[in-house]
Amino acid sequence: MKRNQSGFTLIEIAIVLVIIGLLLGGVLKGQELINSAKVKNLATDFRNVPVYIYGYQDKFRALPGDDIQAVSHVGAAAGHNGNGDGLIGGAWDSITLTDESQYFWEHIRLAGLAAGPTSGGDLLPTNSVGGVIGITSSANFTDPSAGTAANPKINGSYIICSSGILGKYAKQLDLQMDDSNPIGGSIREFSSSNSRPSTLTVPTLTNGMIDDNQTYTVCMGV
């Protein structure tokens, strides 16, 4: 007696393959949107910090973090005035709570320019990938990529840095906001230690580019 064997027809297999293709396309597109959103958020961080500086200066005629009258201007904690020398002192990612690079975030938040805590310890905000964001004056920043005519020191009065950024995001940031050169221009990518304050070093480049899967600290002069 002959048995009938059931199986998929070519049409059914084709339909399944089309569905799989659509699902994969949706997953990839979704991942692309997530990546784009992270880069957009990272870029917004860099754009917002100068706004905080100029907004504070416009209102109080002083530099946040360095404001010698911050206690009276914004109600900063007792003793949390800056020294008024026109610079933001301390490392950009300082963990010393009395550094002006920490006071900066207290002052702008108390001034209503940014959201976040104003007391209770480390005030540096985090970026969309879990790294820290900070600022310091260029006089306090050592640029390891500088030293040649092709790659001079980052230009700007202040240096904003954001850490823990994957190379693929850092590339997009540099492309959107600067010249796509990881060791030149107003935006630089650095390899960095995990400690704070971190030690920045010139990244290893392959074909002139950084590694998509390594994490970097991205710094910008303003």
Q: Is the pLDDT of residue 72 over 80?
A: yes
Mean per-residue pLDDT of the chain: 90
Reading phi first (left if > 0) and then psi (alpha if -120 to 50, else beta), residue 164 is in left
pLDDT value at residue 218: 98
Q: Is the pLDDT of residue 3 over 60?
A: no
Looking at per-residue pLDDT, the higher value among 153 and 102 belongs to 102
pLDDT value at residue 98: 97
Q: Is the pLDDT of residue 188 over 90?
A: yes
**Which class in CATH covers the domain with range 36-221?**
alpha beta
Q: Is the pLDDT of residue 71 over 90?
A: yes
Summarised one tens digit per residue, pLDDT across range 126-150 is 999 999 999 999 999 999 887 777 6
In angstroms, the CA 200 to CA 196 distance is: 11
In angstroms, the CA 150 to CA 169 distance is: 24
For the chain, what are the domain ranges? 36-221
55 CB neighbour count, 10 Å cutoff? 16
Q: What is the rounded average pLDDT of the residues 52-72? A: 98
What tokens appear for 160 in the block? Answer: 């904003």
